[in-house]
Every structure is written in C-alpha cells, then in structure tokens.
Amino acid sequence: MAHLDNAATAPAILQELKPAVLPRAVLVSNNRSFSWITEKICSLIEGKTPAWWWVCFVVACFVASFTVAGITYLVSTGVGVWGHANPVNWAWDIVNFVFWIGIGHAGTLISAILCLLRQKWRTSINRAAEAMTIFAVVCAAIFPVFHVGRVWYAWYLFPIPNSNAIWQNFRSPLEWDVFAVSTYGTVSVLFWYVGLIPDLAVLRDRFYAAGNKLRSFLYGFFALGWRGSNRHWSNYEMAYLILAGISTPLVLSVHTIVSFDFAVSLLPGWHTTIFPPYFVAGAIFSGFGMVLTLMLPLRAIYHMEDLITQYHIDCMCKITLATGTIVGYAYSMEFFIAWYGANPYEGFAFINRAFGHYAWAYWIMITCNVITPQFFWFKKVRENTTLVWVLSIFVNVGMWFERFVIIVTSLARDFLPSSWGYYSPSIVEIFTFFGTFGVFSVLFLLFIRFLPIMPMAELKAVTPQADPHAGHDHH
Amino acid sequence: MSAQSYGLIATFETPAAIYHAAEQVRDAGYKHWDCISPFPIHGLDKAMGLKRSIVPRFSLAGGITGFCTGMSLIWWTGAYDYKLIVGGKPFFSPMFAFPVSYELTILFTAFATIGGMLFLNGLPKHYHPVLKYEHIKRGMDDTFFLVIESRDPRFNLANTKGLLEKAGGRDIKELEA
C-alpha cells in the first residue's frame, strides 16, 4: 500500500523520465538466512575457546599489569612519581584521559547518530563499537581519578555531603566534566545493555536447549525474561530510538565540556572558541581510527566478510577522511586566528608549537592527522584492508599527539619566561599509559568471548527477507 | 489440579505470513493476543492495531526532573547552603549551572526511558507461559508465533483455532498457564 501511495504523490515528471532505481548497498552479503545469522554469532560464544584467544588474553593481562603496577606505586608513594613539575602540572594524565574519551566517541556516533540518520550499515558494527566506548571510558576514567593524588578522596568530586559541609565548585569546567563523563559512561552502558537484551534471550534459550543450565541462568537473568513479544518490541524500539536521540546531544556535549577544561582557562593556545567543534571532530576521527583498528582483525579472524562488508569499510574510511579534514582545517584556523587576533601571547604559543622545543610532536601530529586520512580518497586504498589498518594506527598515534601538543606546549611556555620548563614523562607514567591498552584489550577480549559481538535482532531486521512486503514489492 | 490453558499458539514461517495473520486476528476483534518474533517486524504494530508507544512520556518526565535537579542542586549548594566566593563569580547563575543540568537531563531521561520501557512491558518477568513453549528457541531465531490468550472475551477453543488455521498458522498448540 505504501508503495502505491508513494507513486500517487510522486511528481508527474518522474513518471515520464523513469529514473533508474539505484541498487541499495547490500548490508548482509550472500542472502544469508535468519538462522545463519544466529548460528554465526552464537557459535563464537558456544564454541571452544580458540587458542589465539588465550594467547591474546594472557598477553593483554600482562600488559594490563603495567597499569596496576604504575597505579599501585603512585597510590603508595604520591602523585610526585609522575613527571609533572611547574609549570607543566597537566601532562600525560590529561592527555591520556582526553585520548581515551575521544576514542569512545565513535562508538556512540555509530550507535546513536547513525541510528537517527537511518544509516543501516551501522548495524553490524554498532555492538562492538559501543563496547569499545564503554571500555575506553573505563581507561579514560583511571587518569582523572588517580591524578587527584589522594585517590581515597576522589569522591569529593561528587556532591556528597562531607564533614567540612563544603560543596563542589560548580563554576569550574572541571566539575562540569565530572558530570559529563560519568553521565556518558552510565548512558553508554545502559544503551549497550538495552541493545543486548533480545540477544541475551537468544543465548538463554540456546544454552537451555544444550543443557547448560548455569550459562542459561546467567544469560537469562540479564535477558529479564524477554520473549520477543511484539507488544514489547513496540515499546523497546521507541525506547531505543529515544536513547539514540539523547545520546546524540550527549556525545557532542561530552567532548565540548572536555574542551571547556581548556577553553574556559586563560592560557594562550587553550583559550579559543574553536575548541568545542574541533574537539568533537577530533574525537570522532580518533574513534573511527580505533573502530577500524579493532574491527578489521576481528572480521578477518571470525570470517565476518558477509556481515562487515567492503561497503562498511568504505563508509568508515570516508568518515575518517571527513573528520580528519575538519581537524586539519581546525589546525590551520587556529594559526590564522592567532595571527589575525594580533595577541602576541597567542601568536607566540602557536609559533612555539610548530617550531619550539616540542616541534617534533607537532609535526608527528600534522603528519598522522592531516596527511594520513587523505589516502582514503582513493578506492584502491580503501579496498586494501591491510593498508587501511596501518593507516588507522597512524590516526590513533596522531590523535594522542594532538592532545599532547595542546596540553604540554601551552603549559611549558606560560606567561612568565622565568618559569618556563620542559616536561618529560617518568617511567611510572609510561607504564600506566602502556598498561591501559592491556586493560582495554582484556575487557574487549572478554566481550568477544562471552557476548554476541553483533546485534542479531537488528541484523535480521535489515535483511531483505525481513520485510513483510517482500515478494510483491513495487520499488 | 489440571493444567489451566493460557491460550493457543500458532507457528508462522515468514514475516509476511505473520503480518497478514495479525491483520486477520485484529479484524476479528481480539484484544489479548500477541506476536512473537526474533526481531521487530516493520509495520507489525499497525497490523496488530497497536497504538503508538507511550515511552516518550516517561522520557519527558525524566528529562524535566533531571534539569530541575541540576539547577536546584547548584543553586542550593552554592547560593543557599554554603555560600562561598570563588573568583568573584556570582553564587548562582543559570549559565554556569547549565552544563551540569544538561548532563543530568540526559542521565535522568535515559533512566526514565529504560525504566518506563521495562514497566510498560512488565519486565523483568522470568516466568511466562510463552517461555515454556517447547519451540520457543526457534521463536528467538527465525520463526514467528501468534498467541491468543484464553482470557480474551472472544476466545473459543474451536473458533479461535479455526481463525488461526485460516490465517495460515501451523502447529497450533494449547499453552499451559
């Protein structure tokens, strides 16, 4: 019926011209059936743990132990074990925090913004991307929590009554950040969990049929008794849409508020109005870099070529290209405004970034963030998954250096030349940061072993046979 | 005590089949019935005659509560309970209170949306007659079921069974309550 309505309301000229109908990109290749999707995704959880998983898991645990060691030493000794000294009192801690938070943003972009834009290609990658968001927020949260020094007072960040009867300073963007990041973490977990409910029900029934009562109970407990009722689906889909709708302003606001940590200060190089959009674009850029870094090996190991198709990779490369170019524009615009604003301190801060003591970091940043994504203009490059993977690593490296350049170069050369300094990280900081990749990997490996890495219900809904009007369509 | 009947369950193989069956059950005037599908089928709400979900009302209430919580928290702590001059800034201004209130709006909306969805769906509910059906596993995989409850005023074992058969349902079984 809907098709007839469309034909009636379409402009008359279309009837005459008869434009060719462009074929829609296929989201699940080879016309796979519903049960093929269930089998494919559940078999990853139900099968024997592969040897490579154990190897990766042990290595990841070893790497994660560096963070544990670094933090244990920090807590038992004091925050002075980090290389911070006047005037650079923010360094790797905040660099790493912004780096990890930014990585998380692509997950929310894929799950929320692309959902609202009805970009159905997001379906196969959204679950893993959301998991990436949550684990990245976990890694990010480590740094601000421990950089307060006496971590047992970290709860002072929240408005909980304390014995001094004093309250938090809500005029400070650092306090805004506490709310932004904790809301972001909470809403990301909720969104992820709501998406998981129908898939957990699938696993509950499969493990029950296979006689594994314990796992059936555990999956069933979290599936909340989901039974695929259409009356439930109706409310569920509405709730999912609203969660996507609120996650979109959320993800934009989180990195905006992270950028306020800098922009609301008076330091040259930080005090600029371009920061919020520039940080958000950079976050999405780095996040898509990380999604590519994670998804390409996963696709190869699990033979997911029918579910993560070349079309998906193309889309992700193009978003990386677009956001990378926005970031490049922001770099040049910062320089332009520094000159056009005629503020000598601002001008010095930027000349110093490009040609001062930290020039090496600045040019790594420019190479990785501005030049690397430009390769994605070429179809040949986008179709070479190895090359895409290597380029995505460069994006990750470049975005870490961006935060380093912004934070450290501005602080190392502040208003008083007598207090200028040069910051180098201590071994404790290096260990702590290195270890967070292990923390992230441990969490991600547990995720791909125990939870469905793709949303089965959503994937089934985008297959051609899911359309109840299939067979007698007029489109 | 003999097992009470919860209703009748019929199996359908394709989304199109259950879609058309739902239209027939709706037109026959049933009220207490449901479709079971492994994924949301586009347009099935209309075929079942369901009204638009009222989850957004919960979300709106949550959002308003969140925003007011943020604003009043910052006003109460900074301008009422313990006034402290910091940087010569005012004790309260909606400007600096906005980012936190904005985040709390989103946080409370998320909780209200999910809470509202679970409340409307009557979840968590780990025990349900449909979940006891022997082929429910396939209903989570690639098969579609239509359930008509015996408490429906129009329910009549023979007639309802006839309706489900006419609608193309196979394997029509009685469900124990």
DSSP letters along A404-472, please? Answer: HIIIIIHHHT-S-GGG-------HHHHHHHHHHHHHHHHHHHHHHHHS-SS-HHHHHHTSGGG-TTTTS
pLDDT grade, residue A431 (50/70/90)?
Answer: very high
Q: Does the domain at residues A50-155+171-461 carry the CATH identifier 3.40.50.1980?
A: no
Higher pLDDT, B171 or B110: B110
- The answer to whether the Cβ–Cβ distance between B55 and A242 falls below 8 Å is yes
Question: What pLDDT does A38 receive?
Answer: 83
Collapsing DSSP states into helix, strand and coil, what is residue B30?
coil
pLDDT grade, residue A1 (50/70/90)?
Answer: very low
Q: Give, as one character, the DSSP assignment of residue A18.
A: -
Which of A323, A298, A307, A327 lies closest to A376 in space, CA to CA?
A323
Question: What pLDDT does B153 receive?
Answer: 82
pLDDT grade, residue A2 (50/70/90)?
Answer: very low
Question: What pLDDT does A14 receive?
Answer: 67
Pairing of strands B33-36, B170-176: unpaired
What is the least distance, in Å, from the CA of A246 to any CA of chain B?
Answer: 6
**Who among A176, A186, A235 is closest to B100 (CB)?**
A176
- pLDDT over threshold 60, residue A4: no
- The answer to whether the Cβ–Cβ distance between B128 and A227 falls below 8 Å is yes
Distances (CA, A) of A248 to A132, A318, A399, B78: 17, 20, 22, 30
**Token pair in block for residue B135:** 């082929």
Domain range summary for chain A, segments of one domain joined by +:
50-155+171-461
DSSP letters along A31-89, please? Answer: G--HHHHHHHHHHHHHSPPPHHHHHHHHHHHHHHHHHHHHHHHHHHH-GGGSS-BTTB-
pLDDT grade, residue A318 (50/70/90)?
Answer: very high
- pLDDT over threshold 70, residue B6: yes
- pLDDT over threshold 80, residue A372: yes
pLDDT grade, residue A325 (50/70/90)?
Answer: very high
Q: What is the mean pLDDT of residues A107-114?
A: 82
**Token pair in block for residue A308:** 């993560």
Residues 16-35 of chain A whose Cβ lies under 8 A from any Cβ of chain B: 33-35
* Per-residue model confidence as pLDDT tens digits over B142-152: 888 888 888 88
pLDDT grade, residue B101 (50/70/90)?
Answer: very high
- pLDDT over threshold 90, residue B22: no
Question: What pLDDT does B1 receive?
Answer: 37
pLDDT grade, residue A3 (50/70/90)?
Answer: very low
- For residue A219, what is the nearest residue in chain B, using CA coordinates? B126
Question: What pLDDT does A209 receive?
Answer: 83
* Per-residue model confidence as pLDDT tens digits over A328-351: 999 999 889 989 988 888 888 899
- pLDDT over threshold 90, residue A422: no
The H or E element spanning position B144 is strand B144-149
- pLDDT over threshold 60, residue B7: yes
Higher pLDDT, A203 or B132: A203
- The radius of gyration of chain A's CA atoms, rounded to the nearest angstrom, is 24
Q: Using CA atoms, how far apart are residues A309 and A115, in angstroms rounded to an integer?
A: 18
pLDDT over 70 for what percent of chain A?
A: 93
Give the mean pLDDT of chain B: 86
pLDDT grade, residue A5 (50/70/90)?
Answer: very low
Residues 105-164 of chain A whose Cβ lies under 8 A from any Cβ of chain B: 159
* Per-residue model confidence as pLDDT tens digits over A224-256: 989 888 889 999 999 998 998 999 899 889 989
Number of A:B CB contacts under 8 A? 219
Give the mean pLDDT of chain A: 86
- pLDDT over threshold 50, residue A474: no
The strand order across the sheet containing B144-149 reads B33-36, B144-149, B5-12, B170-176
Enumerate the residues of chain A whose CB falls inside 8 A of the CB of residue B47.
Answer: 468
Question: What pLDDT does A473 receive?
Answer: 45
Domain range summary for chain B, segments of one domain joined by +:
5-53+128-176, 55-121
Least confident of A264-268, A420-424, B63-67, B131-135: B131-135
- The answer to whether residues B49 and B32 touch, using CB atoms and an 8 Å cutoff, is no
Least confident of A104-118, A288-302, B27-41: A104-118
- pLDDT over threshold 80, residue A137: yes
* Per-residue model confidence as pLDDT tens digits over A89-101: 888 888 999 999 8
What is the least distance, in Å, from the CA of A235 to any CA of chain B?
Answer: 5
pLDDT over 90 for what percent of chain A?
A: 34
pLDDT grade, residue A284 (50/70/90)?
Answer: confident
Residues 103-142 of chain B whose Cβ lies under 8 A from any Cβ of chain A: 103-104, 106-107, 109-111, 113-114, 116-118, 120-121, 123-128, 130-131, 136-137, 139-142
Q: Which amino acid is at B142?
A: D
Which of B141, B23, B17 lies closest to A468 in space, CA to CA?
B17
Q: What is the mean pLDDT of residues A161-171?
A: 87
- The answer to whether the Cβ–Cβ distance between B36 and A234 falls below 8 Å is no
Q: What is the mean pLDDT of residues A153-172?
A: 88
